[in-house]
Amino acid sequence: MNIGTFAPTAYGDNISGFAPEKSTVWLKKYFLMLGGTVYRYYEYSLVVDANIGAYSLGGGFNKGLISKGVLINLGVAAEREMSEYFRLFVRPSYELKSYKIAIPEGGPSITHRFNAFYFNVGFIYRLPELRKCPIKDCHGQMNHSHGNRDYRSRVHPIYKKQNPHYGENYPKLIKYKGRNKKKLNPY
């Protein structure tokens, strides 16, 4: 976390700003995440979530003089489902956090707010719950069983969108592929 110059919010003509000795500090966050999907349109979904918890300031602060507040992060994520196991997301969020520092001489404590805006871009990878089918010649495109165990398809790639009710690795018919797409009657 980068720390800029602290400027007074009151009595600005009598009090000057303060620049700390260290301009960067580590900040650890511990939070509980609450949220859920509020809107879905085909493979796109809108997720609203909140992170509520605490934080720990790094070595640049005297922790004996500081009383920390609560960390609240509110965000909205737009997700695109690429396959059953892989998603891309964009998440803008706003974070509220503050702390009070006690003045050693015994005056009133000073509240510092260091709110932040974040813009996260990333991916979510979910591990498959079924193992890949061990039979090399098995061309089943759905989850299936051999003996008493269930397996997922060998031809069902992780990066490709699948309908869970039937396999659709090749949704385009052969008559519309390659050289056949220029023929009037490919069969």
DSSP string, 18-81: B--S-SB--EEEEEEEEEEEEEEETTEEEEEEEEEEEEEE-TTS-TTSEEE--EEEEEEEEEEE
Range of the domain at 33: 27-125
- CA 6 to chain centroid, in Å, comes to 31
- Based on the domain organization, do 133 and 44 belong to the same domain? no
Which among 83, 107, 125 is the end of a domain? Answer: 125
User: Is residue 16 domain-resident?
Assistant: no
pLDDT tens-digit map of 94-134? 999 998 888 877 778 888 888 999 999 999 998 888 888 88
- Based on the domain organization, do 32 and 107 belong to the same domain? yes
Which among 110, 125, 140 is the end of a domain? Answer: 125
Q: What is the mean pLDDT of the chain?
A: 83
User: Is residue 7 domain-resident?
Assistant: no
User: Is residue 112 domain-resident?
Assistant: yes
What's the structural domain count of the chain?
Answer: 2
pLDDT tens-digit map of 162-171? 665 555 666 6
The token pair at 98 is 């503050």
The better pLDDT of the pair 27, 46 is held by 46
pLDDT at 116 (0 to 100): 92
pLDDT at 65 (0 to 100): 83
Backbone angles phi, psi at 9, to 5 degrees: -95, -20
- Based on the domain organization, do 64 and 152 belong to the same domain? no
